[in-house]
Amino acid sequence: MTWQTINPASGSVVASYEESSPEAVQAIIAGAHQAYLAWRSTSFRERSALMRRAAEVLRKNAREYARLMAEEMGKPIRDGTAEIQKCAVGCDYYAENAERFLAPEPVVADARKSYISFNPLGVVLAVMPWNFPFWQVFRFAAPGLMAGNAAVLKHASNVPGCALAIEQVFRKAGFPEQLFRTLLIGSKEVAAVIEHPLVRAVTLTGSGPAGRAVASKAGAMLKKTVLELGGSDPYLVLEDADLEQAAILCTKGRLINMGQSCIAAKRFIVVEKVRSRFEELFVERMSAAKFGDPLSEQTELGPLARHDLRDALHDQVQRSVAMGARCLLGGKIPDGRGAYYPPTVLTDVEKGMAAYEEELFGPVAAVIPVKDEEAAIAVANDSVFGLGGAVLTGDLERGDRIARERIESGSVFVNEVVRSDARLPFGGVKQSGYGRELSNYGIKEFVNIKSVYVA
């Protein structure tokens, strides 16, 4: 079977790729396992040297990789360059810290010696999405390889060029050839890979249905999973917030990656006292963002990744308006080529509407007015998702308390845009998944936490 990648800005064919045959998949997994058997015995010093070289390869070829992202999924090239730099930072972070994170931990017990060791599991399958086609992979691969594992990647079908480029990053850096491999397969073939006896664990970033399918199959095979799924991140705008700064942060949080991010700001829960002024400032900021060719350095907003995604987002807007939401900005598909969608602001969003209940994976903001802080917290938690969230307030102690004690999510930022950071654990609760990536917590997800007792 042949795949074609389509440029979402122009509709033109970027490239064609041959899907991996079942025989090729079997050979790749077997090769990754053989590479793991040798790799697990290497020292952290050896692994670190190679991971630092991977960071160098990324930085050296940042422009090339950013252009590939722009062509395959529409990311503006300056954003793609920043994504590559973030991947390089992540590689350096684990090169520097993995040995410390995985050092044996002594335990006082009634033994002559007892401790906890952290040993690699083997081949880990990574099922990754298209929205951050390099960073999503490296935030798994850097800690995973540093822990001594091997990896096989099933990337989204619209970014096969990125998937193969990532494989080459590790080869250019000097990693064993079979240690990190790409499988060009469709979603229907994932189950067979999970069933393979040499695949020991699975990590997935993607939609709820994809997460449930992978978790179900992995559970049946008794294999460990980490799932990072959807999000509908609430941004609480309290009555004491700096509204001009809040509008800046909310716009940035909503429009990052054209709104195609699990941790993008999506629900703007605004105390009624400041609602009118916030909406005025928010619409002003959102309307200032301009579209352009993702290959241009000046472009702020590119197209959505695919036309079907654009159409699904527009349907959510239309259904919300039909139920009583008001559209303050945008809400119409522009003329011309490309999967473009304008920055859109809906207000008077209420429970039961698509903009309240569903994840809006694009540049559509849902403003939900509330009476006070308690009502804002209640609405924030009134969601099946629990990935990230933000509290915007002039009282840092108040924001800290709400973030720590009241918001049901994997991360909460006070007076800042939610983002992933290699130094902080990343993941969610409820239907946003389970397990953690990044930091010392992430690297320990795919190791055998072993108790050793010497009498």
Is 262 tagged catalytic?
A: yes
Given 262, 358, 359, 408, which residue is catalytic? Answer: 262
Taken in order 208, 213, 214, 219, the sign of the CA dihedral is: positive
With contact defined as beta carbons under 8 Å apart, do 344 and 251 qualify?
no
Q: What angle do CA 43, 45, 46 make, to 5 degrees?
A: 70
- The CA-atom distances, in angstroms, between 345 and each of 14, 236, 301, 303, 414 are 33, 16, 16, 18, 23
With contact defined as beta carbons under 8 Å apart, do 411 and 424 qualify?
yes
Q: Dihedral through CA 249, CA 250, CA 255, CA 261, nearest 10?
A: 100
| Sole residue written with tokens 């703007």 | 268
Reported residue count of the chain is 455
169 vs 141: CA distance, rounded Å: 11
Amino acid 147 reads A
The token pair at 332 is 């119409």
Given 228, 373, 408, 437, which residue is catalytic? Answer: 228
227 vs 126: CA distance, rounded Å: 10
12 vs 8: CA distance, rounded Å: 8
266 vs 361: CA distance, rounded Å: 9
Residues acting as catalytic residues: 228, 262
